[in-house]
Amino acid sequence: MGTSLELEEKNEGSNERPDGELDYRMPIYLQLREIVRSRIEEGEYLPGSAIPSENKLAETFGINRLTVRNAVEALVNEGVLQRVQGKGVFVVGDKYEESLEGYGGFVNTVFPEQKHASVKEQTKTLRPAGNKYANYFDIEPDDLIFYMRHFTTIKGQPLSSEEIFVPQEVLPELEAVNSSVFSIKDIFAFYGVELASMQQTMEIIRGLPKLRKMLDVPDGVALIMLTCDHRDSNGRVIAYSRSFIRSDKSSFNIKLHS
C-alpha cells in the first residue's frame, strides 16, 4: 500500500519546518526527542504507524545514529513509541483506561505472553462490502471495507491466521496503520473510535485441507475458530474478526463473575 513511502516523503518535506531545525546549544538527542514528540502530537506520525528509520532520521537531521537512538529510546521508555523487532518503531496512541479484558473475554494464554510470536500482515486491501457485510455493518454493498489478514508464528511455527473486516468510514486512517503491531481494539482507541462491546465466539472445527496445510496442523489435531464482533454504543458493528488457531498450541483463559 506504499505506507512507509508516504511517511518518508512527508518527512523530507518537513525539513523546512521550524521544529525541524536543531539548536546546537542544547543536547541534540533531547531536541530530536521533542521534534518526534511534536510530530506525533501534530498527527504527522500517526498512531499505529512506524516513524522513519533511525538511519533516515540521522540522515535527515545530519546527526549521529547513536544520538537518534538515544532520542527514540527515551520515547520508548515513556511508552510513546514501541519498538517491534524486525518491523521498526511505532507510535503508540492513547489507550482506553479500562481494558476490556478485565470484564471477561477469552484470552489466549499461550499467545500474548509469547515473546517469540511474530505477526505478519499478509494482506491489507479495500474491497466492496458486498451483500453480506453490507447487512452486517449496516452500510451499502458498494461501500468499501478494509480486509486484513494476519499470520502469526511462534519461533517460526504457524499458530494462527486471522482476518479482520472494518468499514472504511469507521476508520479511514487504517490505511496508514500497520494492523499487525497493535490490536484492532488499540487502534480504535488511538483514533477515538468508540468500542462499547465485543462478542467473542469460540468453536472447534476441523478446517479445510488448504487451511490445515497453511497452519501446518498435525493429523487429528482440531482448529479453534474464534470470531469477534466489535460494536459501538449504538450497537452497530464496527469491526469483525475471524481467527483460525491451532488448538495444540493454545489454551484460553477467562475470568468469570457472579
Partner 1 sequence: MDYHIPPGTEAIERLEDFIVVNRLTANTRIPSERDLCEMWGVSRSTLRQAVDTLVSWGVLYRVRGSGVYVAVPKKNRNMVGVDSMIGELRQQGSFLSKKIISARVIEATKQISRKLKIPLGRKVHEYIRLRKVDYVPCILETTYIDGQQYPDFDEYYNEKTSMDYILKNIYHKKQKSGEENISVTYASEHEAELFEIEPDTPLFFTSGVVKDEKGVPVTYYKQLFRSDQFKFVSVINKE
User: Contacting partner 1 (CB under 8 A), which of 101, 138, 173, 175?
Assistant: 101
Looking at the Cβ atoms of 187 and 195, the one nearer to partner 1 is 195
Looking at the Cβ atoms of 122 and 199, the one nearer to partner 1 is 199
User: Contacting partner 1 (CB under 8 A), which of 47, 52, 88, 207?
Assistant: 207
Looking at the Cβ atoms of 22 and 254, the one nearer to partner 1 is 254
Quickly count: other Cβ atoms within 10 Å of residue 229's Cβ. 15
**Which position has the grid cell 465466539?**
201
Contact between 191 and partner 1 by CB under 8 A: the answer reads no
| C-alpha span between 181 and 213 (Å, rounded) | 25
x-or-dash pattern for partner 1, window 24-63, by CB under 8 A? ----------------------------------------
Q: Which stretch binds partner 1 (CB under 8 A): 61-69, 72-80, 120-128, 169-177?
A: 120-128
Say if CB 22 and CB 28 are below 8 A apart. Answer: yes
Contact between 122 and partner 1 by CB under 8 A: the answer reads no
Q: Which stretch binds partner 1 (CB under 8 A): 19-27, 60-68, 114-122, 219-227?
A: 219-227
Q: Which triple of cell numbers denotes residue 221?
A: 489435531
User: Contacting partner 1 (CB under 8 A), which of 126, 169, 172, 213?
Assistant: 126
**H-helix or E-strand containing 124?**
strand 117-128
Burial of 3: CB neighbours in 10 Å, binned 0-12, 13-18, 19+: middle
Contact between 158 and partner 1 by CB under 8 A: the answer reads no
- Longest Cα–Cα distance in the chain: 68
Indicate the DSSP class of residue 43: T
**Which position has the grid cell 487502534?**
187
